[in-house]
Structure 1
Amino acid sequence: MKYFFKNANLVLEQKTVDLAVCDGKIDFVSNVEEGNFDKVVDLKGKMVLKGFCDLHTHLDKALISTRVANRSGTLAEAIAIMSEYKAKMTDEDIYERAESTLLMCYKNGTRFLRTHIDVDKNIGIRSILVMKELQKKYRHLMQIQIVAFPQEGIVDKPQNYQALDQALAAGADLVGGIPVNDLDPQKHIDMVFKLALKYNVDIDMHIDETDRADCMTLLQLAYTTISMGWQGRVTAGHCCSLAANPPEIVDSILEKVHMAGIKIVSLPSTNLYLQGRGDTCNIRRGIAPIKRIYQEHCIPTALASDNIRDPFNPFGNGNLLETALIAAHGCHMGGNDDIDLLFDMITRQPIEMFGADYHIYEGEEADFIIIDAATPGEAIIAQKRLYGYFRNNTLNF
């Protein structure tokens, strides 16, 4: 089959082209005879890209909000619920929920996904092994990275730390962390770095998911990253405490973060839901100041789904256009430039942070999505979904 796509808007390359697909390969063409193609589609400026990148999810926890209830809606209760629920999870349960969520994300255009998977003395590395199966099964549809994540802490918990080590030995792609869950956050960070060096893997930590202004393990993470020579290989998720501090303090911290080459992922839906629970008036939003992080400090910044219908967040559809719209509301980002930046935070920036290439090249395998919109603003504000996608020499509408 030979396909001809007229007026394809390669939004991340900022150009409109006529695009042919012959024998599953991309060819940029002009002045062609349309009759030479089996199928001709005039995209009329619809956006074409390799797909969205969801850089922070929890597929092992997804879709259990109908089974267990977080009555207080707090982070502490969510962790306690999951700690108890994990002990009861079967491999089949983990597989079924993770697969359903993964396919939900795929249908909404995600083609690159990173998932944080719990490891500890109770669950061991069972969830990691399940995700390895799914990673292999769906490698033709989506690139998946697995983060071994010690939700329950590791300081003075040798069995949890052993599970984290075993997860990396079993093939987890990155090592995670959550320093505020241990009484000694710096020791937690140091222990995670020890494993990162041992297995030569990147780090992706949950950082400062709290409203406390004085809780700033992000700064400790930056210092440690520099001292360990791991610049450019560390990602910090959440960073909610930045929102509780004045600009001068935030700027001083972000200067060090920039020096350390740390990348930041904001999770607007979950943090709008969890943060500010202790406030009785002027309730805080708790979202990291993403516009300041990127524009003032040139720190790579992404938006991601985080929790999808679990005790941490009963909402979520694995839809990054929805996530971008939530961030637009929560971060006061409504101008055209703001919307373009939010789109960049679910496409170009996270794809680069993932370690992939967002460009569409002539001669490469044809694998792209088509959004039913001509601009990021139209896609995000009107919540335009996939118009179609092309892969394996097949056009899907």
Structure 2
Amino acid sequence: MTKPDITLPDTRAFVLRNARVPSVFLTDGVTAGATRDADGSPLLDIVVEDGRFTGLRPAGQGPSELPAFDLAGRQAWPRLVDVHAHLDKGHTVARTANPDGDFLGARAATTEDRLRYWDGEDIRRRLAFSLACAEAHGVGAIRTHLDSHEETAQRDQAATSWAVFREMRDAWAGRVTLQGVGLVAIEAYGDDYGRRLADIVAESGGLLGGGLRPTAILQGSALSEMNDLLDRLFGLARERDLDVDLHVDEIDDPVAASLDVIARATVRNGYEGRVTCGHCCSLALQPADQAAATIARVAKAGISIVTLPTVNMYLQDRQWERTPRWRGVAPVKELAAAGVPFAIAGDNCRDGFYAYGDHDMLDTFRAGVRILHLDHPLQQAPSHVGPIPAAIMGLEHTGQIREGGSADLILLPARSLNEVVARPHADRIVLRAGRRITTKVPRYEELTGEMSPW
């Protein structure tokens, strides 16, 4: 089959005929009468006018008066959503390496790199590179955590990072939607700096965040201290009407129970439906009864979970000269069975915490399917990189193909979900507002200002 050519810059209205769209990307009722394949994906004619979807009809029923482009059953996806990233850390691995690839080495490398390099110009350059990668791959929205540490002799890191974030968010508006989360150790909310950070986040339209990594069971004074810190965080969030996104239990300790503590704190503070928890690795290692009780409380609290399969497989259970024994990811099937929404996200990219990646959510999806066993059947899997993370971010039309929404699409040279997962699809076509984007994946030389012969 030949790849369709849909580059018509002067065409205001057109039809993409015979587009295969996974049903999870569609709203109820639009597929009535359409022929479905073995994955349950309907074959549709997609009508685009003035940059928006104006019709989704069974194949063969699109308007005949408009120019038409036959996709011959190839897949049409919305642009995807990365609900957990670290753009401020990205693309630092070449200058500050993590020598052993483990978590402690990642934290040390990141601290060294941040103190040495992270001024406004450096963060701006790396964010621009990351966003160009994401846009070229078909990512439409990113929630990024921003290291928001107190002022040091080098710089006021929180003020510097958030200023660049606001600048880049505005500059990329309409291309890639950005949300920011203030990332500090949870202990930062125990003093006046927590209030200052909450003000910066509120002024930037962001979310409050924090990292919880207990190494022993939470009980007695440790549990009391954690509850106090969470209550202070929720209090600061409530005063400013901010949602919360936390890093949770990113360790292989089966007694680590901070997710359970967070679920209780969420209900105690009346914050149901406004909390996201990322990682939750140790939940997979807990005894079945303990894990089930925690999952039930997470469901009651309306907490959304984000799993980071590529990064957690890279970091978890990493020991020198020993093959890892477990996958390091959250038990997402059990969470979903309890009614807990979960998303797959990219997390780190070419930094101390993960040496690889390219801000490509299609690649992350393909890896996630295989790591998390989200196949057999595959029908629901794409929802975890489209409508579910979009809902977590509060983005109504993103991650879906629906009438009235912006005509943002990824066209893939694949006819089935199996073919989507089987190949990387470097030849995908990305549309924004009905037009093929011109953004290319940037060359690595752009990070350092070098000339490239390519």
Same-fold call, TM cutoff 0.5 = yes
Task: Please name the residue that 1:117 is paired with.
Answer: 146
> Given the alignment, which residue of 349, 359, 365 partners 1:308?
349
Q: 1:289-304, aligned counterparts within 5 Å?
A: 289-294=331-336, 296-304=337-345
Task: Please name the residue that 1:3 is paired with.
Answer: 14
Q: 1:363 to 1:189 in 2, by over 3 A?
A: closer
Pairwise CA distance, 1:239: 0.0
The 8 Å contact of residues 198 and 237 in structure 2, kept in 1 or not, is answered as no
Task: Please name the residue that 2:107 is paired with.
Answer: 79
Secondary structure in structure 2 of the residue aligned to 1:124? helix
The CA distance in 2 between the partners of 1:94 and 1:177, in whole Å, is 21
Task: Please name the residue that 2:184 is paired with.
Answer: 150
1:289 counterpart letter in structure 2: P
> Given the alignment, which residue of 22, 28, 47 partners 1:20?
47
Pairwise CA distance, 1:158: 4.2
Task: Please name the residue that 1:40 is paired with.
Answer: 68
5+ residue gaps, structure 2: 1-10, 27-40, 152-156, 216-221, 439-454
Matched, 1:192 2:199: no
Secondary structure in structure 2 of the residue aligned to 1:175? strand
The CA distance in 2 between the partners of 1:274 and 1:253, in whole Å, is 24
> Given the alignment, which residue of 374, 379, 392 partners 1:340?
379
The CA distance in 1 between the partners of 2:267 and 2:257, in whole Å, is 17
Cα deviations by residue, 1:198-240 (Å, 9 ceiling, x for unpaired)? 1111111000001111111000000010011111100000001
Matched, 1:287 2:287: no
The 8 Å contact of residues 318 and 324 in structure 2, kept in 1 or not, is answered as no
Bigger radius of gyration among the two: 2
Q: 1:24 to 1:207 in 2, by over 3 A?
A: same
Secondary structure in structure 2 of the residue aligned to 1:178? strand
Cα deviations by residue, 1:11-58 (Å, 9 ceiling, x for unpaired)? 222533212323333332665675x44x43101222223311101000
Pairwise CA distance, 1:252: 1.2
Task: Please name the residue that 2:167 is paired with.
Answer: 133
The CA distance in 2 between the partners of 1:191 and 1:32, in whole Å, is 55
The CA distance in 2 between the partners of 1:163 and 1:96, in whole Å, is 26
Pairwise CA distance, 1:151: 4.5
Pairwise CA distance, 1:9: 2.5
What percentage of residue pairs aligned between the two structures are identical? 28
Q: 1:343 to 1:203 in 2, by over 3 A?
A: same
Secondary structure in structure 2 of the residue aligned to 1:20? strand
Q: 1:390 to 1:119 in 2, by over 3 A?
A: same
Task: Please name the residue that 1:239 is paired with.
Answer: 280
The CA distance in 2 between the partners of 1:171 and 1:74, in whole Å, is 33
The CA distance in 2 between the partners of 1:222 and 1:256, in whole Å, is 6
> Given the alignment, which residue of 189, 204, 208 partners 1:175?
208
Pairwise CA distance, 1:341: 3.4
Secondary structure in structure 2 of the residue aligned to 1:237? strand
Deviates more, 1:242-251 or 1:165-174: 165-174
Deviates more, 1:109-118 or 1:243-252: 243-252
| TM-score (norm. length: structure 1) | 0.90
Pairwise CA distance, 1:282: 6.0
| TM-score (norm. length: structure 2) | 0.80
Q: 1:176 to 1:281 in 2, by over 3 A?
A: same
Q: 1:49 to 1:321 in 2, by over 3 A?
A: closer
Task: Please name the residue that 1:257 is paired with.
Answer: 298
The CA distance in 2 between the partners of 1:50 and 1:329, in whole Å, is 21
Secondary structure in structure 1 of the residue aligned to 2:72? coil
Cα deviations by residue, 1:152-204 (Å, 9 ceiling, x for unpaired)? 84155644x24422322331421111122797433332232122111111111
Pairwise CA distance, 1:142: 1.7
1:291 counterpart letter in structure 2: K
Task: Please name the residue that 1:101 is paired with.
Answer: 130
The 8 Å contact of residues 303 and 340 in structure 2, kept in 1 or not, is answered as yes
Task: Please name the residue that 1:352 is paired with.
Answer: 391
Deviates more, 1:57-66 or 1:356-365: 356-365
Cα deviations by residue, 1:302-324 (Å, 9 ceiling, x for unpaired)? 11000000011101121222223
The CA distance in 2 between the partners of 1:335 and 1:31, in whole Å, is 32
Q: 1:25 to 1:312 in 2, by over 3 A?
A: closer
Q: 1:231 to 1:138 in 2, by over 3 A?
A: same
- State the superposition RMSD in angstroms: 2.4
Secondary structure in structure 2 of the residue aligned to 1:309? coil
User: How many residue pairs align between the two structures?
Assistant: 391
